[in-house]
């Protein structure tokens, strides 16, 4: 599979492109994010198993959001039905991704679990506990990072290219590693925007969250250019045959 390595500044461009996509259907996108928030809230209400079930199913909902991104980018109306479309088309593959991610996270968190982390969470203002917990928190973030990178593009590769789950995880990880600089720029810019979004009573998240979702789709098309051609070929004018150019 052809994976492009893009310039670092593209990390910012992904966010700009995400905003451009969101701006085409802002009210619909805000409604989609509210629906996802409600689903997540209901999952949290279910004792013990609720968050685990949502983690298992989250790649399916994420795939549905990516289908909505595709429709919006094509100047079509995204629909709420698209959130659930992967349940009918790619349920097994996407649930496999969710299961792998869930089990990996549980194993890593179990391995790095330390009493200092629990004590710090109970008393976050204690400076001594904070210093003791910091190394374990950093280790945990570093251990979880490969899982995050492997699952970043994996649902899109399953949805748009019908790539098997394990192969999708491999290609996603490789794509993120080859584009580490734009990913860093993207992450720093996104964190800055998150801070800004919290200022007006958190109301900025009604715009920022859909923009972030759309920006992931934009980054996917930038790094997997052959997919971008495939997704837009029905709306592009046909090119002349090579012999006529």
- Whether 124 has a pLDDT exceeding 70, the answer reads no
Question: SS3 of 203, please?
Answer: coil
Contact 94, 80 (CB under 8 A): no
Which band of pLDDT confidence, cut at 50, 70 and 90, is reported for residue 234? very low
CA terminus-to-terminus distance, the chain: 27
- Whether 140 has a pLDDT exceeding 80, the answer reads no
Which band of pLDDT confidence, cut at 50, 70 and 90, is reported for residue 133? low
- Cβ neighbours for 224, distance < 8 A, ≥ 6 positions apart: 1, 2, 3, 4, 153, 157, 175
Q: In this predicted model, what pLDDT tens digit does every residue of 42-99 receive, in sequence order? A: 988 888 788 899 999 999 999 999 999 999 999 999 999 999 999 999 999 999 999 9
Contact 94, 86 (CB under 8 A): yes
What is the reported pLDDT for 30? 96
Question: SS3 of 168, please?
Answer: helix
What is the reported pLDDT for 203? 87
What is the reported pLDDT for 2? 84
Residue with tokens 């009210």: 27
Number of H helices, E strands in the chain: 13, 0
For CA atoms 120, 46, 34, 220, the dihedral sign is positive
Least confident of 69-73, 84-88, 138-142, 161-165: 138-142
- Whether 226 has a pLDDT exceeding 60, the answer reads no
Measured distance CA(214)–CA(72) in Å, rounded? 9
Calculate the average pLDDT of the chain: 86
Which band of pLDDT confidence, cut at 50, 70 and 90, is reported for residue 136? low
CB atoms within 10 A of CB 242: 6
Per-residue pLDDT, averaged over 10-20, amounts to 97
Per-residue pLDDT, averaged over 7-14, amounts to 96
Residue with tokens 């004792």: 47
| Tokens linked to 157 | 């590769």
What is the reported pLDDT for 141? 79
What is the reported pLDDT for 245? 36
Q: What is the DSSP string of 185-222?
A: HHHHHHHHHHHHHHTTTTTTHHHHHHHHHHHHHHHHHH
- Whether 235 has a pLDDT exceeding 90, the answer reads no
Which band of pLDDT confidence, cut at 50, 70 and 90, is reported for residue 19? very high
Q: In this predicted model, what pLDDT tens digit does every residue of 169-208 receive, in sequence order? A: 999 999 999 999 999 999 999 999 999 999 878 889 999 9
What is the reported pLDDT for 121? 59
For CA atoms 210, 215, 221, 227, the dihedral sign is negative
């Amino acid at each position: 599979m052809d994976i492009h390595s893009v310039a670092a500044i593209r990390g910012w461009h992904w966010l700009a492109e995400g905003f451009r996509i969101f701006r085409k259907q802002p009210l619909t996108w805000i409604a989609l994010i509210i629906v996802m928030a409600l689903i997540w809230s209901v999952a949290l209400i279910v004792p013990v198993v609720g968050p685990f079930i949502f983690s298992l199913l989250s790649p399916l909902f994420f795939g549905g959001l990516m289908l909505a991104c595709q429709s919006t980018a094509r100047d079509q109306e995204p629909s709420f039905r698209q959130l659930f479309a992967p349940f009918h088309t790619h349920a097994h593959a996407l649930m496999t991704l969710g299961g792998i991610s869930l089990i990996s996270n549980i194993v890593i968190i179990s391995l790095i679990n330390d009493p200092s982390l629990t004590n710090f969470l109970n008393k976050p203002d204690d400076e001594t506990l904070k210093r003791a917990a910091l190394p374990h928190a950093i280790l945990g973030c570093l251990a979880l990072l490969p899982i995050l990178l492997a699952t970043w593009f994996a649902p899109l590769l399953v949805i748009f290219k019908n790539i098997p789950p394990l192969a999708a995880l491999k290609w996603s990880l490789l794509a993120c590693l080859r584009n580490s600089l734009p990913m860093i720029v993207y992450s720093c810019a996104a964190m800055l925007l998150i801070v800004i979004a919290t200022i007006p009573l958190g109301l900025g998240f009604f715009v920022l969250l859909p923009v972030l979702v759309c920006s992931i789709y934009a980054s996917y098309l930038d790094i997997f250019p052959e997919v971008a051609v495939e997704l837009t070929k029905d709306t592009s004018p046909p090119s002349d045959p090579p012999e006529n150019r």
